[in-house]
Amino acid sequence: MADDGMLLNFAVGDTPWAPKTTAYKGGRWKDRLTAKKALQYGQNKSNPDYKKENDSRNDVRSGSNSEPRPFKRQKTDGGEYKPTHTTGRTGPRDPNNAPRQRPKEVISSLFTYNPTATTAPVEEEEEVEDAEPVQPSNAPLSSELDTFTSLGLSPNVARHLLEKMGIKAPTAIQAKAVAQLVKDDSDAFIQAETGSGKTLAYLLPIVQRLVTMSETARKANGGTGGLTRDSGLFAIILAPTRELSKQISTVLESLLGAAHWIVAGTVIGGEKKQSEKARLRKGLNILVATPGRLVDHLEHTERLDVSNVRWLVLDEGDRLMELGFENDIQKIVSLMNLRMRKVQQAPIPGLPEKRTTVLCSATIKMDVERLGNITLKEAVSISAEKPRDAEDAEKNGHAFSAPAQLKQSYAVVPAKLRLVTLAAILRRAFARKGSVMKTIVFMSCADSVDFHFEVLTRGGEKKITGSEAKEERKKNPELSELDKMNPITTTAKKEKEKELSNYEKKLAPGKIRQGGSIDDQCTEAIAPIISGKENDVSIFRMHGSLPQNIRTSTLKAFTNNKDASVMVCTDVASRGLDLPNVDFVIEYDPAFSKDDHLHRIGRTARAGREGRALIFLQPGNEEGYVDILKEGRRDAGHGLTRHDAIELLKKGLTPTSGTVSSGREWEEKATDWQLDVERWALESPKHLEQARRAYQSHIRAYATHVAAERGIFNIKTLHLGHLAKAFALRDKPGSIKVPGLRPGKEDAKKSKDSRHKANIKGAKSSGGKSSAPDGDDAPQMTDSQEAARIMRAKTKAMMGGGASEFNLG
């Protein structure tokens, strides 16, 4: 049929769902799409068939036999799904379809989703009754074999050692070193394990030579005279830290009781230089110093005369190099050589013609060899132990190992269980009165020390120093009778804590208070959670960010404490310190290097005594550290005991001592204690900030292990969420941020600027370059700031060296 041009129109009615032929043109494409979807929605809503079908779907969803729509689940790295933990309702949505609020904090369980250990448990070797006991490797020798008089010491000095100092016989390293250095003026390199008596090994020859010089001078003067403090300085002993310098000075003062006319002193920083200059003006015969402060006095104190110095001792040579004292030591040696040649005076009777330099180090490393090349000439090597064979000597040299009688073990603990496991171990260690007297817990950074000190001492007695505090306690004796229950809060304990808080406010401002916050100069308190019914345990804290007088008083209080005590500290207390009666060493955070680990565990099992050491390792890569632990043992790793976290929790949290319960009450106690710590942190902004700072500093410290061990301590494999729970945090790792700097940083910056201006002023007045003391003994600069500068320069120069706590924020 042909197209005649006629157009037919069909009526479709006025229904709203009628199709529209209008095309949208112009404008943004988003606006056009929105208009199109709105039109389509209106058409569907007006369509009766669509509405009926939609209502039937809603009826099916709301039926009694239907299940609610499941919540989304988080996918794990292994491809499996795990439920999302929330603090609110976990059931279906309410009838009003109100949207659920996203949780602001995460409360995870201690015992779920923990990684499993990759190494199989090692069965403990049964003790054989007829087996010979392990012979201590650093014990004094039998008095029948070697005596001090046979080594060349005078009867007066030997008698003083026996009667006043209680030393009956020398150790192996003392026997070799004293016999060599008393009769010979050659340089010497002394190497021996920790706790073997290296300090007396070099002090005894120096004192004996000075006693002999005094007798020679007296004979030359017709029986009168002898050495006095005005005779001059004859010996200098350099140590890397102030604590070690103080300890050397203490041993020296005790030894000089046999020769009271010999005067010793220290210049180590931490006090006004004017008082040190006054000490030098009065006259000294033996000087104990740190390198940075000694350089400062050599350049600016005219009264310091080193022309007669004939003995120079470098103690802990490896630590001296690690802290960047190489330039200072070079300057000290060159100045001493220059002034020794320049000064022409009548020789003192008995004074040696050449200077003897003694280098002491527990290890022989590249930096120690470089230090030996700087200071030693044709040195004699003195070691207490010979290698087992020629092949071992070629491979390891004089390897530094732990004492033979030290019982070592390691615990495989997941990150979430670290905090509660530490509390359980300490609680079990002090369960019986007198079983363990003193314990040292090593951590990686100062912030972590502060946080754990507060956690373990919360609710305990806050000891306060000062005369006003003592008087206040006499007036109110009830304030010292605090509740020593488990940390589950009670009304009575809260009231007593409030009384104590009011009591602290009565003190005059500036007094040292115990158990404060990270910016308080407090170092001692009672720990209720690890104290027994009749065994109160005191906890001390110590790190390099504390003022020097506080560090010194803390060490003294811990040493003199006769009751059970724990010291939570960083590596500032790991080298050279002789802390008596330390039975147990816990490495809560692994050391930054193998050598640091051996120095840490060397704080126990000293001078032939027994001791125990335990290190925390996380499941996975960190279990590879066991091979390094075996390298540090003389028995090739035999006797190295392994513990699991569950085992330690059962033993520490069960009510019956010495038995393992088959029930699950230990799990409930661990969970209650952990949740209580988390609530304690959330209730106080101060404690929450403290926990966050500790968490961040711990992660930064974890990344500073030596290059050879970074495959074991790989920060990429660290579970940050689980680690946050170990610091009582419920925040997501990405939201854990601490504003501002660590308290004290602003003051340190001002101190640094003032020191820089003073150096420029001094350089202008002297016409030379400015010079500032370096290292731990900087007079106008805090330890953390100055050592941080040294460690940053050291790490940049050597790429991969170890780190101390001072370079961690």
Yes or no: say if 795 and 705 are a contact pair by the CB < 8 Å rule. no
* pLDDT recorded at residue 7: 54
pLDDT, mean of residues 139-161:
75
- In 471-621 the beta strands, taken as DSSP E runs, fall at 524-526, 538-542, 565-569, 582-587, 611-617
Based on the domain organization, do 215 and 265 belong to the same domain? Answer: yes
Q: What is the CA radius of gyration of the chain?
A: 35
* pLDDT recorded at residue 531: 87
DSSP 726-793: HTT--S-GGG----SPPTTHHHHHHHHHHHHHHHHHHHHHHTS------GGG-SSS-HHHHHHHHHHH
Quickly tell me which residue has 């370096």 as its tokens: 774
Based on the domain organization, do 454 and 479 belong to the same domain? Answer: no
Cβ-Cβ contacts under 8 Å for 190 (sequence gap 6 or more) = 173, 177, 198, 201, 202, 358, 359, 360, 361, 382, 383
Give the pLDDT band (50/70/90) at residue 803. very low
Based on the domain organization, do 571 and 596 belong to the same domain? Answer: yes
Of 117-126, 290-299, 332-341, which range is least confident? 117-126
Q: Residue 799: what are its φ and ψ, rounded to 5°? A: 50, 85
Sign of the CA dihedral with 148 first, then 152, 153, and 159 last: positive
Residue 139 belongs to some domain of the structure: no
Residue 13 belongs to some domain of the structure: no
Q: Residue 90: what are its φ and ψ, rounded to 5°? A: -115, 5
Question: Which carries the bigger pLDDT value, residue 137 or residue 14?
Answer: 137
Residue 651 belongs to some domain of the structure: yes
Residue 752 belongs to some domain of the structure: yes
* pLDDT recorded at residue 535: 82
pLDDT, mean of residues 529-552:
87
* Number of domains the chain is built from: 4
Q: Which domain holds residue 317?
A: 149-396
Question: Which carries the bigger pLDDT value, residue 735 or residue 132?
Answer: 735
pLDDT over threshold 80, residue 91: no
Based on the domain organization, do 665 and 691 belong to the same domain? Answer: yes
Based on the domain organization, do 156 and 274 belong to the same domain? Answer: yes
Write out pLDDT tens, residues 258-309: 999 999 999 987 778 888 999 999 999 999 999 999 999 999 998 899 999 9
* pLDDT recorded at residue 269: 78
Give the pLDDT band (50/70/90) at residue 806. very low
317 alpha carbon, distance to own chain's centre? 21
Q: Residue 538: what are its φ and ψ, rounded to 5°? A: -95, 145
Residue 346 belongs to some domain of the structure: yes
pLDDT over threshold 60, residue 381: yes
Yes or no: say if 172 and 384 are a contact pair by the CB < 8 Å rule. yes
Could you tell me the pTM of the whole model?
Answer: 0.65
Write out pLDDT tens, residues 355-370: 999 999 877 777 788 8
Cα–Cα distance measured from residue 57 to residue 803, given in angstroms and rounded to the nearest whole number: 66
pLDDT over threshold 80, residue 166: yes
Based on the domain organization, do 546 and 564 belong to the same domain? Answer: yes
116 alpha carbon, distance to own chain's centre? 27
Residue 458 belongs to some domain of the structure: yes
Based on the domain organization, do 455 and 480 belong to the same domain? Answer: no
Based on the domain organization, do 198 and 235 belong to the same domain? Answer: yes
Yes or no: say if 75 and 81 are a contact pair by the CB < 8 Å rule. yes
Write out pLDDT tens, residues 45-73: 767 666 555 655 555 444 444 445 554 45
Mean pLDDT, rounded, of the chain: 74
pLDDT over threshold 60, residue 798: no
- In 144-272 the beta strands, taken as DSSP E runs, fall at 188-191, 235-238, 264-267
Which of 362, 396, 430 is the last residue before a domain boundary? 396
Based on the domain organization, do 774 and 721 belong to the same domain? Answer: no
Give the pLDDT band (50/70/90) at residue 146. low
Q: Residue 791: what are its φ and ψ, rounded to 5°? A: -70, -35
Residue 339 belongs to some domain of the structure: yes
Based on the domain organization, do 373 and 410 belong to the same domain? Answer: no
Q: Residue 449: what are its φ and ψ, rounded to 5°? A: -60, -45
Write out pLDDT tens, residues 606-642: 767 888 999 999 999 999 999 888 886 666 555 689 9
Of 204-218, 262-276, 721-735, which range is least confident? 262-276
Integer CA distances (angstroms), 32 to 22, 24, 39, in order: 12, 6, 11
Strands 582-587 and 565-569: unpaired
Based on the domain organization, do 197 and 272 belong to the same domain? Answer: yes
Based on the domain organization, do 286 and 423 belong to the same domain? Answer: no
Give percent of the chain with pLDDT exceeding 90: 31
Task: Give burial (CB, 10 Å; 0-12/13-18/19+) of 77.
Answer: exposed
Give the pLDDT band (50/70/90) at residue 395. very low
Cα–Cα distance measured from residue 203 to residue 180, given in angstroms and rounded to the nearest whole number: 13
* pLDDT recorded at residue 200: 92
CATH number at residue 539: 3.40.50.300
Which of 374, 396, 418 is the last residue before a domain boundary? 396
Three-class SS string for 389-451? Answer: CHHHHHHHCCCCCCCCCEEEEEEECCHHHHHHHHHHHHHHHCCCCCCCCEEEEECCCHHHHHH
Which of 513, 548, 575 is the last residue before a domain boundary? 513
pLDDT over threshold 80, residue 4: no
* pLDDT recorded at residue 575: 77
Write out pLDDT tens, residues 37-46: 888 887 777 6
Helix (H, G, I), strand (E, B) or coil at 256: helix
499 alpha carbon, distance to own chain's centre? 33
- How long, in residues, is the chain? 809
